[in-house]
Amino acid sequence: MLQQPSIISKLPNVGTTIFTVMSALAIEHKSINLGQGFPDFPMSEELVALVNKAMQHGNNQYVHGCGLPLLRERLAEKCNGLYGSSVSGDTEITVTPGGTYAIYTALTAVLQPGDEVIVFEPAYDSYIPNIEINGGVPVLVPLQHPDYSINWDLVRSKISPRTKMIMLNSPHNPSGTVLSSHDIEQLRSIVTGTGIFILSDEVYEHLIFDNMKHESILRYPDLFARSFVCFSFGKVYHCTGWKMGYCVAPDALMKEFRKVHQFNCFTCNSPVQFAIAEFLLQQDKYLQLGAFLQQKRDFFQAGMQQTKFKALPSHGSYFQLYDYSAISDETEKDFAIRVTKEYGVTGIPTSAFYKSGTDNKVLRFCFAKKEDTLNAAIERLQKL
């Protein structure tokens, strides 16, 4: 008998993501989808026109594999101006097809089989599979519900000789929490004098509210020296479907990052890079984002006070968590599905962001939507 080829899955426990499941349900039931994190309002017409201009002017062939040099130069100017860093666009920035790709590539560049990575839960759903597919071991540290703060003593107890990296995300998805200067000092006390890397997911860097400060790792030279810092153009310019981002890391780390990058993506969409390089000169386009999205958070939160949902604090990102324990004792997934089918509003069960499925009776809603969309969702949720 001839032997047939078979696959031994590298991700045996991974199935269809909850975002795909809930979005399909939303379409089926004509539900208002506040699940996935993408705007339903238009992006900048000027930026779209700049992409068209780049295409019309013939900028349609490969650019440098690490990113258009002019774009990297202007990103360095932005980073250094905002955070007081001294990043080199030539050797320390690589343009990537999205922030998630940058995170995967950073992990792939440094992880060896058996290396441990500290992951705070709830966590963006790509983190754990990205670690596991590289042979790493996720070491899970729960954030403290309901404020989703970090218990740094617990982090210290999880550090071992095999700890290779600590992953951070601020502003945080899904909770909307933001790292403080205290968190930075605690992090510094843990990693100083060790070989531990940091991966800082800062894709929501400009979506920060309530006059809070974004504690970018780029602000701290001692921490940046061991860090990969990942960003997203999609979140900044409301063009999530473009899948464009970048990674910033010290020269020695970026060399390893680029080794992986060159044989995977090699280079990214050229016309978009020309367009963004020009658009970056308008600082107000990204500096005003916090106030713009805070208005949407406040609008949604004020309307949700007319429902039985209880808002948990959100100081950044596209998202806010809402406690529904006064409405139902159903599991988060069951409740989210029922609300989609019976009331026509789709959220994401926060349990989906935990490997263990921790259930705190909380749903995540995306408020990066038109006011009409948010109003319609609120009216439906009032019926619960």
pLDDT tens digits, 160-191: 999 999 999 999 999 999 999 999 999 999 99
Tell me: pLDDT of 307 over 70: yes
Q: Which helix (H) or strand (E) holds 169?
A: strand 163-169
Omega within 30 of 0 (cis) for the link into 5 = no
Identify the band that residue 364 occupies on the pLDDT scale cut at 50, 70 and 90.
Answer: very high
* Relative orientation angle of helices 270-279 and 69-83, to the nearest 10 degrees: 40
381: helix, coil or strand? Answer: helix
In this prediction, residue 16 carries a pLDDT of 82
**Dihedral angle of Cα 281, 78, 237, 171, to the nearest 10 degrees:** -160
- Asked if 363 contacts 332 with a C-beta cutoff of 8 angstroms, the reply is yes
Closest CA to 317 of 214, 220, 247, 227: 214
CA nearest neighbour of 52 among 266, 279, 221, 207:
279
Average pLDDT of the chain, as a whole number: 97
SS (H, E, C) 321-358: EEECCCCCCCCHHHHHHHHHHHHCEECEEHHHHCCCCC
Answer yes or no: is pLDDT of 1 > 80. no
Q: Which amino acid is at 181?
A: S
pLDDT in tens, 214-257: 999 999 999 999 999 999 999 999 999 999 999 999 999 999 99
Instruction: Please give the single-letter amino acid code of residue 210.
Output: D
* Region 27-54 average pLDDT: 95
Can you read off the two tokens belonging to residue 373? 């969309």
Q: Where are the domains of the chain?
A: 18-37+287-381, 45-282
Q: What is the pLDDT of residue 18?
A: 87
Query: For residue 140, what pLDDT band results from cuts at 50, 70 and 90?
Result: very high
Contact 196, 111 (CB under 8 A): no
- Tell me the pLDDT tens digit for each residue of 322-356: 999 999 999 999 999 999 999 999 999 999 999 98
Peptide bond into 39 cis (omega under 30): no
Average pLDDT over residues 193-207: 98
Q: If DSSP states are collapsed to H, E and C, what string results for 92-148?
A: CEEEECCHHHHHHHHHHHHCCCCCEEEEEECCCCCHHHHHHHCCCEEEEEECECCCC
What pLDDT is recorded for position 232?
97
List pLDDT tens digits, range 82-134.
999 999 999 999 999 999 999 999 999 999 999 999 999 999 999 999 999 99
- Asked if the peptide bond before residue 349 counts as cis, ω within 30 degrees of 0, the response is no
DSSP H stretches of helix in 211-322: 221-224, 233-236, 251-262, 270-279, 284-287, 289-304
77, with CB counted inside 10 A (0-12, 13-18, 19+), is middle
Whole-model pTM: value is 0.96
Distances (CA, A) of 168 to 81, 121, 227, 251, 338: 23, 10, 10, 21, 33
3-state SS class at 229: strand
CB 280 within 8 A of CB 78: yes
What torsion, rounded to 10 degrees, do the Cα atoms 131, 133, 137, 143 define?
A: 40
Q: Which two tokens stand for residue 72?
A: 């990297």
Tokens of 131: 């670690």
The CATH code that applies to domain 18-37+287-381 is: 3.90.1150.10
* Residue 345, C-beta contacts closer than 8 angstroms, at least 6 positions apart: 31, 32, 34, 339, 377, 380, 381
CA separation for the pair 112, 224 (Å, rounded) = 21
Q: How many helical (H) and strand (E) elements, i.e. helices and strands, does the chain have? A: 15, 13
Distance CA 320, CA 176 (A): 6
Evaluate whether 333 touches 352 at the Cβ level (below 8 Å): yes
Judge whether residue 2 has pLDDT over 80: no
> pLDDT grade, residue 17 (50/70/90)?
confident
121 - beta bridge partners?
A: 142
Cis amide leading into 142 (omega within 30): no
Give percent of the chain with pLDDT exceeding 90.
95
For residue 123, the model assigns a pLDDT of 97
Given a cut of 80, whether residue 277 has pLDDT beyond it is yes
3-state secondary structure of 350: helix
24: part of which helix (H) or strand (E)?
helix 18-28
Q: Class assignment of domain 45-282?
A: alpha beta
Neighbours of 182 (CB within 10 A): 12
